[in-house]
Amino acid sequence: MKQTCRMTMTSRIVAIPVVVASIGLAGCSTTSGRMFMKGSAGPAVSSAAYISALEGGLVSRSKGISLSAADRQRALEAEYRALEAAPGGQPVVWQGRGVQGSVVAAAPYQVGSQNCRQYSHTLVAKGRETVSRGAACRTAAGTWTPLG
C-alpha cells in the first residue's frame, strides 16, 4: 500500500512560525518553566535596530535602580526575547552585575493588523524590587514598539 504525505496550506502556515520560533529560542534554555538567556545575547537579538525600537523599554522606567550599559543591554534583550518568542506567562530571566531581572509577556492580541503584547519587567538590585508594566506592538518592519 502506497502512502502519500500531503501538506495542506494550513499545515504550512503553522509549520513556518514553529520553525522560526525554534530558531529564535536556540539561545535559551529552560529550567523549571522559566526561560534563561545564556550569555548576554544571541546574534539575532543583538541587532541594534530591534533593541533601539523598544525606545529604552520598560527597564528605562525603573526608578531607583541604575544599570550599567551592559546590564541595560541585557535587560532590553530580555524584553525583546519575551515579546518575540516567549509563550505567554513564561519569564525570560537575565542576570547582570549585582542586578537581575525577569520579563513576562502576556498572550499576544490584535490591535488593527498589528500583533501586540502586554508585558512586565521585574528588576532586583540590592534587595530592592521594582516592577514596570507596559505594552508593545510589532511594526510592519518586524520590530516591537512600545504603546503610549
Could you report the per-residue pLDDT of 9-61, keeping only the tens digit for each? 444 443 334 333 333 444 443 333 444 443 333 334 446 778 888 888 998 88
Continuous H helices in the chain? 9-24, 48-52, 69-84
Asked whether residue 95 carries a pLDDT value surpassing 60, the answer given is yes
Asked whether residue 88 carries a pLDDT value surpassing 80, the answer given is yes
In the block, residue with C-alpha cell 545575547: 41
Asked whether residue 76 carries a pLDDT value surpassing 80, the answer given is yes
Q: What is the DSSP letter of 88?
A: T
145 or 48, greater pLDDT: 145
**How large is the average pLDDT for residues 66-93?**
95
Predicted local distance difference test score (pLDDT) of residue 42:
38
How many CA atoms does the CB half-sphere of 27 hold within 13 Å?
Answer: 20
Asked whether residue 118 carries a pLDDT value surpassing 90, the answer given is yes
Residue in 87, 135, 81 with CA at minimum distance from that of residue 110: 135
Q: Average pLDDT, whole number, for the chain? A: 76
